[in-house]
């Protein structure tokens, strides 16, 4: 919208410019309000994590959950993380948000452990865009320690674009984290910058096939060929590959027959708050 307004403003003479510059002002003001609200939401701990189950294709059991941030804005309602994460990255809130996500996910894992709910691992999305916190490793280890959790409980999901930033200090942080026994998963695999060379620099333990390869896989030969090729990359590297965004049985059947290891998507469950996830688990995997 901003682009359109700008374009129209430029092409339609002086009077119009004033009109559209008001609109741009409004956009800037909305944005600034969101930044202030987001900062407060993180500080007041009103963001929530929802959890989406991940299913081991081999035995059909739940092998983990992915934690996804939710923001119920007092005036605007639910705001998608695809909208507020980039804001956090731009306005210096991403470290606080990362910290909040790791803390909340660890706290939840400890609670499930105590309730004897068998969820072996939690995946947390980590944004390293515009990130400076060189204490990230200590911070994560501190949270694990605090909640008495093994490093193997935690997987950090990174996106390929993150690794365009080959800033040596970022790489060092990632290597330190890995040294401590925490794994990395490459999210949205196949959609980012198409160099695979980062796979040599960063120890990745899992690939996640992006949803865009899955969404039409039952009709599209190219999607099927690409999902197969991506699985092959994972297998050659001896790491697991997750298929995300599975919405129907046909898609699941194809990915299963190709040899995918882990499945995630609306077919199994939407992301749920912790209470609803607990109910889901009890219903789908009743004990005896
Ligand atoms: P992502 O990490 O790739 O997460 C998967 C997204 O796909 C989630 O959207 C999830 O709700 C959605 N999804 C899952 N299964 C299906 C399906 O079967 N069909 C369709 N159409 N969608 C499905 P969501 O929760 O809106 O999150 C969007 C993105 O925001 C995430 O993509 C992730 O990059 C980012 N994000 C979410 N939470 C956090 C967070 O706590 N920290 C950071 N840094 N980023 C986050
Ligand atoms: Mg993810
Ligand atoms: Mg993804
Ligand atoms: Mg994504």
* Cα 102 to averaged position of ligand 2 atoms, centre (Å): 14
Mean pLDDT for the chain overall = 90
* Cα 188 to averaged position of ligand 4 atoms, centre (Å): 6
Tell me the pLDDT tens digit for each residue of 144-193: 999 999 999 999 999 877 777 667 788 888 999 999 999 999 999 988 76
Q: Give the number of the atom of ligand 1 that is nearest the alpha carbon of residue 81.
A: 30
CA distance 173 to 169: 6
CA distance 140 to 104: 11
Residue identifier of the C-alpha nearest atom 20 of ligand 1? 245
Q: Give the number of the atom of ligand 1 that is nearest the alpha carbon of residue 159.
A: 34
CA distance 226 to 238: 18
CA distance 68 to 53: 11
ipTM over cut 0.95: yes
* Pocket residue to mutate for ligand 1, from 51, 53, 68, most atoms within 8 A of Cβ: 68
* Cα 37 to averaged position of ligand 4 atoms, centre (Å): 23
CA distance 217 to 252: 10
* Cα 27 to averaged position of ligand 2 atoms, centre (Å): 29
Q: Considering every ligand atom, which ligand is closest to the CA of 271?
A: 1
Q: What is the pTM of this model?
A: 0.92
Gyration radius (Cα) of the chain, Å: 21
155: closest CA among 208, 200, 195?
A: 208
pLDDT bracket for residue 227 (50, 70, 90): very high
């Amino acid at each position: 919208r901003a682009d359109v307004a700008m374009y129209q403003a430029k092409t339609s003479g002086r009077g119009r410019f004033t009109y559209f510059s008001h609109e741009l002002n409004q956009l800037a003001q909305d944005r600034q309000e969101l930044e202030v609200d987001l900062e407060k939401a993180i500080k007041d701990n009103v963001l929530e994590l929802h959890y989406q189950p991940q299913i081991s294709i081999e035995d059909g059991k739940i092998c983990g959950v992915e934690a996804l941030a939710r923001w119920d804005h007092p005036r605007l309602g639910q705001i998608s993380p695809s909208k507020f994460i980039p804001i956090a990255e731009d306005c210096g809130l991403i470290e606080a948000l990362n910290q909040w996500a790791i803390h909340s996910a660890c706290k939840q894992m400890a609670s499930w452990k105590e309730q004897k709910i068998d969820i072996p691992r939690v995946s947390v999305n980590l944004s390293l865009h515009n990130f400076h916190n060189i204490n990230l490793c200590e911070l994560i280890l501190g949270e694990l320690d605090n909640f008495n959790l093994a490093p193997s409980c935690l997987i950090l999901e990174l996106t390929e674009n993150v690794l365009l930033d080959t800033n040596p200090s970022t790489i060092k942080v990632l290597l330190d984290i890995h040294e401590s026994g925490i794994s990395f998963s490459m999210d949205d695999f196949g959609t980012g910058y198409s160099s695979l060379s980062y796979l040599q620099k960063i120890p990745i333990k899992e690939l996640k096939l992006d949803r865009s390869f899955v969404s039409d896989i039952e009709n599209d030969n190219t999607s099927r060929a690409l999902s197969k090729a991506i699985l092959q990359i994972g297998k050659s590297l001896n790491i697991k590959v997750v298929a995300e965004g599975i919405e129907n049985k046909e898609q699941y059947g194809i990915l299963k027959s190709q040899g995918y290891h882990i499945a995630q998507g609306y077919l199994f469950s939407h992301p749920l708050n912790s209470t609803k996830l607990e109910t889901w688990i009890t219903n789908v995997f009743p004990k005896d």
